[in-house]
Amino acid sequence: MLPTARLLQSSRSKAIGFIGLGAMGREMASNVLQKTFQANSDKDLTFVVHDSFDLSTTRFLTANTSLFPGRNIVPATSPAGVASLASTIITVVPSSPQVKEVYLAENGILQGLRGLGDPKEPSNSTLCIDCTTLDPLVAVQTADEIKQAGGGGQGQDQGAFDMIDSPMSGGVVGARAGTLSFMVGSNSHQSFAHAEPTLLKMGSRAIHCGKNGNGLIAKIANNLLLGISMLATSEAMLLGTVHGLSPQILAHIINTSTGKCWSSEVNNPAPGALRGTDKSPPAERDYDGGFAAKLQAKDLGLALNAAQQRGVPTPLGHLATNIYKALGENPEYMDKDFSVAFKALSTAVGKIPTSDEPHAE
C-alpha cells in the first residue's frame, strides 16, 4: 500500500525505517516488520525501507506486502526520505564508508533530520540504531553529528536525535531465525531501553556494553578471538588428519578436552568432522554460506586499528589478519565461509583430507 506523503509524515512517531536490505538486512527487516505488524493492528503504523540497489527494495516489498495487505510498507528514495518518515531508523550496511554515506552525505539521514524543522517538537524525536560492524571512531564521530543536530552530543544533555551502535553476532542463519545477539554502545540508558524491544524482534538478546563505540569494541574483540581460534582449529585438525586420524575422532577428542571452542564444536573446518552430530557446518557444503572470509579479514583489520589506538600488542592478531587478508583477496576463497582456511592450509600438504580416508586405529 502506498499512502500519501501527508499521511505518512503525520504518523512518523509510529513509523520504523530500515536501510540496507542485503543478506543480513533483509532477514532482519522482515522479522521487525512481521513481528511489529502481528502485534499491532494500527493502520497508521508504517514500515519504510531503502536500499542503494533498487532491486533489493523491490524484492523486499514483493515478499512482504502480500503478507500484510492494506498495511503501510513503503519505499523511500534516499536515507533522507527514511528520516523524514520514521522516528526509529535501523541501518545495516557493509562498513565505515557506507555508514558515513548513509548518515552524513547529501540525501543522508542527517539531511533528512535537519529538514524536519524544530528538533524540540516531540514528533521529531528520532533514534538511529546502526547494526553495521565498522571503525568505532567513525561510529562515535557519526553519532556525535547526529546528536548535535538534535541539540545534544559532546557532553550536552540528551537531545532530540540519538544514534547508537548495535553490531550483531549470529550470521545470516541467526538473522533469519531472529536469534541474533546485539552488542550495544550507547551513552544513554534511555536510548538503549527504547531500542531493546526493536532489537529483540531481530535477536534473542541485547547487551548494553556502555558508551557509544563500546558495542563495536565488544564485537571486534570477539571476532579477533574468533579468527585466531578458527586458524588454530584448522591447524590442529589438519595436523591430525594428515597423520591418519579420522576427523570425526579428532573432533570428538578436542570437543571433550581442553581444546574445545566454537570453531571446533559448531563450525569445525574439517569436512566430516561433525558428521553424526546435530551440527552442519559450511565445511560440509564446500564452505558455502556462513561468514565470508573477506568479512573476517575486515573485522580483524578493525580490531588491529582499535588495538593500535591504545597500544595493545596483538601478535596473533597480526598473523591472523595477514592470513585472512590473503584469503579475502583470493577469488577462490573470498566469499566462502572463513573456515575455508582449513582448505587453504591443506593445499600446502598437496591434498585435502577427507573423512573417508584411512586413519590410524
In the residue annotation, 279 being an active-site residue is answered as no
Question: Which of the following is catalytic: 14, 35, 211, 219?
Answer: 219
Which of 157, 102, 151, 107 is closest to 128 using CA atoms? 102
d(CA 266, CA 254): 12
Cα separation, 255 vs 278, whole angstroms: 14
Residues 6+ apart with CB under 8 A from 192: 164, 184, 186, 206, 208
CA distances from 77 to 24, 108, 186 (A): 21, 11, 29
Q: Which residues pair with 16 in a beta bridge?
A: 47, 88
Q: Which residues are catalytic?
A: 219
